Amino acid sequence: MDAAKYWVAVIGGGPAGLFAARAFSNNGARVTVLNRDIKPGGLAEYGIYPTKLKMKQGLRSQFQQILASPLIDYFGNVTVCGGGNIALEDILESGFQAALVTTGAQGTKWLRLPGENLPGVYHAKNLVFHYNSLPPFSGRKFLLGRRVAVVGAGNVMMDIAHYLVRDRKVDEVVAVVRRGPAEIKFTKKEMETIAANLDLSALEAEFGRVAPLMQAARQDPGLVQQAFTDALPKALPPVSQSRFRFEFLASPARVLGDWMNGVSGLKVEENILVAADGAVKARGAGTSRIIPADTVIFAIGDTVDRDFCIPVYNDAYQTVPEPRFPVGGLSFEAFNPDTNLPIERVFLAGWARQASTGLVGYARRDGEMAAEAVLQYLQTFPPGPGLDQAADRFEGRLLETHQRVVDKKHLEKLEQAEQKEAMLLGVEEFKFPTNDEMFTAMGF
């Protein structure tokens, strides 16, 4: 193997980090991927709905191929900053020429409403991690009742509704949407998973209620309603009696209930639609109503991790406003708004650069473009000597200071053990639900 031209740290082993790692290695760089989770894949492993087996297997095999490169080292169960015991500063001081942060959107977005801390109120991400078997969420109890209000109208709301309707078989799921039916963000494909449970008379009544408000915003309620029922011909056969319905133009104002009995409802402020700056926005109408519910789940997107060692401004990490290494007109260099300076040698990609934005394909492109920006930066100084030795020294130090670091050989063992378990149980896929079981399977 030729000596590495560059040596880059990729922090986060989700799609953005792994596709960036491939782009670096294709350009002769040595890459060290540091990942919080034992397994690679991020939300491709622990976010995408578990029944999308073909898609998940396809992505897993792409990630395996990427990690097979001798230029890419993988260390799982390593959290950088926050609760971990390696700081970004330590990484930069170890001789890496640059660090690409692809840690995703690990922070939780709350609305800070009264009653948000009641038992029975959850953030979608935690439930998604639970049903996708990510430790420690896999072992957590979720007190889901029979009538669940899910706030949001994106694909995550649809995934949660899918889980509630097809797996938990609750009585009712109400999607609480702050704008109107024309502003929903979920796709027809996702609607097909639970369209058979759509309460059509409730939908008709809700469209009747909001039609004048839509017309006032120059929208055609009939056309929009058709988009909701377009999913019916290809709807999956129902497996429960769950009723799925929508409440539009409703912004959560308070979670009702008490500590002993949990949630009893969601108070919402009623909205009207206003067209402003080329977009349709919700404006409070000054009236409110109560949606009966015993569980409330917020599916309103996520934010970056505030415990990571990059300053957060406006709920996000910042990139240099006028990039020195733009790719596709975008900036990937991290920026410190306190000093008004770039954070030297640190770059951002994927959901760490733009939280809760886009599909795996977006994260992949973003990772690849960020790698291009980093490579432009690296070309501004001559290739350093002894990078491979520095990478080996870093690995030695990491193993000295961290317990149970998972490398590529361990991942192979884990993969084999899970496949064996799936065969024994006669299921298509098996995941160990705790870190300890994974460590045992890997021979720690």
Ligand X SMILES: Cc1cc2nc3c(=O)[nH]c(=O)nc-3n(C[C@H](O)[C@H](O)[C@H](O)COP(=O)(O)OP(=O)(O)OC[C@H]3O[C@@H](n4cnc5c(N)ncnc54)[C@H](O)[C@@H]3O)c2cc1C
Site string for ligand X, 64-83 (x = CB under 6 A): ---------------xxxx-
Q: Which helix (H) or strand (E) holds 442?
A: helix 435-442
Give me the least distance between CB of 138 and ligand NAP, in Å please.
Answer: 19
Site string for ligand X, 296-335 (x = CB under 6 A): ---------x--x---------------------------
Q: Give the integer Cα–Cα distance in Å for 289 and 294.
A: 16
Choose among ligand X, ligand NAP, none what residue 350 binds, the Cβ cut-off being 5 to 8 Å by kind. Answer: ligand X
SS3 label, residue 191? helix
First to last CA, the chain: 30
Give me the least distance between CB of 15 and ligand NAP, in Å please.
Answer: 12
Does 301 contact ligand NAP by CB under 6 A? yes
381 CB-contact burial (10 Å; exposed 0-12 / middle 13-18 / buried 19+): exposed
The residue nearest ligand NAP at its CB is 154
Give the nearer residue to ligand X in terms of CB position, either 271 or 354. 354
Q: How many CB atoms lie within 10 A of CB 271?
A: 22
Give the nearer residue to ligand NAP in terms of CB position, either 111 or 232. 111
Give me the least distance between CB of 166 and ligand X, in Å please.
Answer: 15
Give the nearer residue to ligand X in terms of CB position, either 52 or 209. 52
Q: Give the integer Cα–Cα distance in Å for 399 and 442.
A: 16
Does 444 contact ligand X by CB under 6 A? no
CA 141 remoteness from chain centre = 21
Q: What secondary structure letter does DSSP report for 322? A: S
Give the nearer residue to ligand X in terms of CB position, either 246 or 308. 308
- Alpha-carbon separation of residue 391 from 8, 89, 346, 381, 411 (angstroms): 9, 16, 18, 19, 20
DSSP 94-120: TT-SEEEE-----EE-----TTTTSTT
93 CB-contact burial (10 Å; exposed 0-12 / middle 13-18 / buried 19+): exposed
Q: Give the integer Cα–Cα distance in Å for 122 and 138.
A: 15
Among 9, 16, 268, 398, binds ligand X (CB under 6 A): 16
Choose among ligand NAP, ligand X, none what residue 411 binds, the Cβ cut-off being 5 to 8 Å by kind. Answer: none
Which residues touch 181 (CB under 8 Å, ≥6 apart)? 206, 207, 210, 214, 221, 224, 225, 227, 228, 246, 248
Give me the least distance between CB of 351 and ligand NAP, in Å please.
Answer: 8
Does 368 contact ligand X by CB under 6 A? no
Does 154 contact ligand X by CB under 6 A? no
Give the nearer residue to ligand NAP in terms of CB position, either 45 or 333. 45
Site string for ligand NAP, 179-218 (x = CB under 6 A): x---x-x----x----------------------------
Q: Say if CB 130 and CB 137 are below 8 A apart.
A: yes
Does 43 contact ligand X by CB under 6 A? yes
Only one residue has tokens 């999913």, namely 231
Does 159 contact ligand NAP by CB under 6 A? yes
Give me the least distance between CB of 107 and ligand X, in Å please.
Answer: 10
Give me the least distance between CB of 297 and ligand NAP, in Å please.
Answer: 12
Binding site for ligand NAP (CB under 6 A): 111, 151-157, 159, 178-179, 183, 185, 190, 251, 299-301, 356-359
